[in-house]
Structure 1
Amino acid sequence: MEVRNPSPALYNEDLAPARQRNWGPFSIFNVWTSDVHSLWGYYLAASLFLLCGSFANFLLAIGLSSLVIFLLMNLIGWAGEKTGVPYPVLARASFGIWGANLPAIVRAIVAIFWYGAQTAAASSALVALLVRNDALLHFHQSSHMLGHSSLEVICYLIMWGLQLLIIQRGMETVRKFQDWAGPAVWLAMLVLAIGLVVKAGNFSLEHGIPMDLLLEKTRDAGVNGEPGSFWALMAVGATWITYFAALYLNFCDFSRYARDRAAVTKGNLWGLPVNLIAFSFVAGITTIAAFQVYGEVLLHPEQISAKFDSWFLALLAAMTFAVATLGINVVANFVSSAFDISNVFPRQISFKRGGYIAAVIALVLYPFAPWDGSAAHFVNAIGATMGPLLGIIVIDYYLIARGRVNVEALYQEEGEYRYQGGWNINALAATIVGSIFSTILPNFTSLLPAWWGTYGWFFGVFIGGVVYYVLSLVQPRVALPAGAR
């Protein structure tokens, strides 16, 4: 749709409702192949596999939690398809035309953290390949800068620059890239798994990893109970769901380009529960086979590929995983931060310029590597910050507004989404209360039990959503006109 007389402070061509809607189920499906099929996705799946204690437990925990992910993504995806607007603009309906900058900046900060983490993961795959050469191995061990080896810094800069080239021509280029990058990693995954199973001499669903080694590998995950226990499985499901916390918010950045609601639902069905379970299954098989072949628990695929005798297989695995990891970075992090930063200063910052700003900040963060450490802990700590935001947006869209949004008013300074001076105080208060329990208390104090952080995102969604709903009953929003979408 065309927006009539939008405010320049709220509008640019990138933030406008999508005009070209040609994304079918396959493109939506490949949003998820690009998002999941990465070095970080594999690392997390392999780490969670250890916590489950058995293959049956692993598939049960991942399967059930993947259904939850599917349902949540549909809620946001349908809103994006219906309105055609990106996440920071949709957030104006619940937070206010200026208040939406709060969730936008929070999401942008998280995207920038993940952008750095994924770029570092992609560069590590390249490093693992290059150090097979004795001269480069010596250079890697002897030369250091910015808290890393010089070879790691060079590879990080290479991957960092390649991502900027992908985004040069906008969202349609992103779609074309993800349509082949996501499926490509399945080839590498299968080559990795089949090659290791053949080398192991048998196909097994029993990992045979001693309990003391499992405990050593999972001690930093912040989980009560030993691997395979009820609480360990609960933590696995919670962490898997929380891993997608960022995209629950901004999946509408992609679903806004979908042809219809059915395309979103079908793409999500194949891309989430079906694809997630299959991907996790292959990650588990690879972990088992790698332990049988090398006698080590190898959670990073580049560690496995580095042990290959064949240069060709090592090159195939390293480059495919690197490309796939670039895919998730462009899809999940570059796109989101670009829209979010553009939303704050739409007159000065376009989609591309917002993405460049995010990329530069990620580059500055690299020497500090805040993403290093336990995969589960990083995912839960980062994800918890976005719980209240999702709770508020979902409650507002489905229960308060009942799925009706005045799209034109999202771009008007004096419309019904102005609330109190451009801020919806109800949403602001709910965000503060929810964040106290999801992020501040569990991560910065010892007032709550240690296990609380594992479920911080869930507490944020629930508390933020409930507080917002109660406040909305006390101070109701203005009814929308009959023509609202």
Structure 2
Amino acid sequence: MSNKNQFLKSPDLLPITQNGKKVGSLGFAFIWVGMAVVLAAFAIGGSGVQSLSLGWVILATVIACVALGLLMTLTGDIGVEHGLSFPVYMRAPFGTVGTHMPSVVRGLVASCWFGVNTFFGATAMNAILATISGFDNWFVCFLIFASLQVLNTALGIKAVERFADLAAPVIIIISGWMYMTLSDQALQNGREVWTWVENPATGGAAFTAFMVVVMANMGFWGTLASDMPSISRFVKAPKLERNWFKRNKAQVAGNLIAYPIVQTFMVVIGAVSYIAVSDYDPVVALQQSASGVILGVLLLMIVLAQWSTNISANLIPAAVVFSNVGGPKVPFGVGVIGAGVIGIAVQPWSLFGIIIDMLLIIAAVLSAIVGILISDYYLLRKRRVNVPDLYESEGQYKYMNGVNLAGYFSWVIGGGIALFFPTYSFIVGFIIGGVSYYVLAKYWWFEKYKQAELIDPSDEKYLGLTVGRDWKIELEKGRSDVEIEIAAATSK
């Protein structure tokens, strides 16, 4: 086996087989409950009610969540069907070498969000300690909190599900209490949460404000829409199931039910927090409206929420990306540590004032990648993938020196144009990136570099779970590089 091949076959990047899929529908929904309680959601709500009533902010959030949840489920089928992670599948639309640039961008974004969420959780942790013991040092709490999350993530995906199982019910119950507490605080200040608007926008300005809420929601979770396969490859699914919805029912439970509900509720809490005390940070609001044990429990919810969010949505995707770039010398655990170090180094405490602007830029850059992924997987390959060649340095995905120029040109075109339309950044980037890739790949690049699954779109050769196949990539020397095992014709 060549060194180049070995570099593409890091153990942490191999396809997950049916036996390795440990997360069920309820577990995935609970992971989403934990992931959706984040600072960005509070900021979106607090920013939105400065120009719109709470009802319009909720409508914009629901629209964004349902649309993005569908995109997440679409890209997540890559992980469900073939057991592939995001950076590995990206070798198809970007090349075995070209995958690194967009993957690293996503990994850096995830690492930055890890830092932001860790800082937010650390402020809550510090408030708890200050209330209980008088200890007051948020930076020490930040370092401790970051270390604990990195350690938990290194234990593996099942540890994440178990943690989310513990945190999710607590988060659901206490979030309701938080909403009622903040609503009462707002009424005491003479503000009715469903009618109050700081500076009401009308006409075109109101529509622009509405779209900013939509795009901000899509911008934040657009990161996960691109690399949902890194998580969905661990989600249980029935073998020999050709119906897309039945095959992805566990994903649907999380992406199209749990995520929209919890995300919308978090946006509402941020909005009500801003209405109550003119600050979308519920840690600040809670310290003004609660005390003693009640305050401690509420702040603990914030800590637990950031913990489960960072593990599933940030540390795992970033670690998978860095492991892909580094090859066998950078195992998953090292990738987790790298993500943690980057999250600390960016000094996340300085990023709060520009969160909404960041979300719109992120939406522009990553939406084009989501469009390219869906165009490549569904429109061109029609879900059929020559998986063995994804791990071969001289296979069909080598393209020109390991780079698929159709993918890069489409990314630059889609993401670049989207930056000029921040109010509609995700929509613009997604459509232009996807359409550009389809045209460039089908009528130019794939004419030069033939793709086996396009020439012979065989189900038996190039589908995975649908035909009962577990893709297995062999690592040992002296044996075949690729072994395809046809699993039993029964679904779990």
TM range (shorter): 0.7 to 0.9
SS of the residue 1:8 aligns to: helix
Q: Distance in 2 between matches of 1:361 and 1:127?
A: 22
Q: Distance in 2 between matches of 1:372 and 1:402?
A: 41
Aligned to 2:312: 331
Aligned to 1:8: 6
SS of the residue 1:52 aligns to: coil
| Contact 1:51–1:236 (Cα < 8 Å) also in 2 | no
Q: CA deviation at 1:193?
A: 2.0
Matched, 1:401 2:381: yes
Q: CA deviation at 1:305?
A: 1.8
Percent of aligned pairs with the same amino acid:
24
Q: Which moved more, 1:127-136 or 1:108-117?
A: 127-136
Residues matched between the structures, number: 444
Change beyond 3 A, Cα 1:262–1:175: farther
| Contact 2:88–2:390 (Cα < 8 Å) also in 1 | yes
Aligned to 2:432: 463
| Contact 1:70–1:268 (Cα < 8 Å) also in 2 | no
SS of the residue 2:352 aligns to: coil
Q: Which letter does structure 2 place at the counterpart of 1:484?
A: Y
Aligned to 2:158: 172
Q: Which letter does structure 2 place at the counterpart of 1:454?
A: T
Q: Distance in 2 between matches of 1:427 and 1:133?
A: 54
Change beyond 3 A, Cα 1:479–1:277: closer
Q: Distance in 2 between matches of 1:467 and 1:287?
A: 38
Q: Distance in 2 between matches of 1:418 and 1:459?
A: 30
Q: Distance in 2 between matches of 1:288 and 1:94?
A: 40
Aligned to 2:444: 474
| Contact 1:6–1:408 (Cα < 8 Å) also in 2 | no
Equivalent position to 2:303, from 315, 319, 322: 322
SS of the residue 1:209 aligns to: coil
| Contact 2:367–2:426 (Cα < 8 Å) also in 1 | yes
Aligned to 1:445: none
Q: Which letter does structure 2 place at the counterpart of 1:345?
A: G
Deviations 1:40-96 (A, max 9, x none): 3333334334443242x2332222222211210111111210110110001111111
Equivalent position to 2:365, from 380, 385, 395: 385
Deviations 1:273-328 (A, max 9, x none): 44345435544664676578xx5233111112212443111111111111111111
Q: Which letter does structure 2 place at the counterpart of 1:275?
A: A
Matched, 1:230 2:207: yes
Equivalent position to 1:279, from 262, 272, 276: 262
Aligned to 1:447: none
Aligned to 1:361: 342
| Contact 1:112–1:362 (Cα < 8 Å) also in 2 | yes
| Contact 2:34–2:309 (Cα < 8 Å) also in 1 | yes
Q: Distance in 1 between matches of 2:111 and 2:251?
A: 25
RMSD: 3.0
SS of the residue 1:23 aligns to: coil
| Contact 1:387–1:461 (Cα < 8 Å) also in 2 | yes
Aligned to 1:144: none
Q: Distance in 2 between matches of 1:264 and 1:178?
A: 23
Q: Distance in 2 between matches of 1:358 and 1:54?
A: 36
Aligned to 2:219: 242
Q: CA deviation at 1:24?
A: 1.6
Q: Which letter does structure 1 place at the counterpart of 2:432?
A: I
Q: Distance in 1 between matches of 2:45 and 2:152?
A: 27
* TM-score, normalised relative to structure 1: 0.83
Change beyond 3 A, Cα 1:377–1:175: same
| Contact 2:91–2:397 (Cα < 8 Å) also in 1 | yes
Matched, 1:209 2:196: yes
Q: Which moved more, 1:11-20 or 1:42-51?
A: 42-51
Deviations 1:166-216 (A, max 9, x none): 1232122122222322332112211212344567789x974443534x68x
Q: Distance in 2 between matches of 1:266 and 1:370?
A: 40
Q: CA deviation at 1:245?
A: 0.9
Aligned to 1:34: 34
Q: Distance in 1 between matches of 2:154 and 2:37?
A: 23
Q: Which letter does structure 2 place at the counterpart of 1:408?
A: P
Change beyond 3 A, Cα 1:288–1:251: closer
Aligned to 2:240: none
Q: Distance in 1 between matches of 2:99 and 2:234?
A: 21
Aligned to 1:484: 462
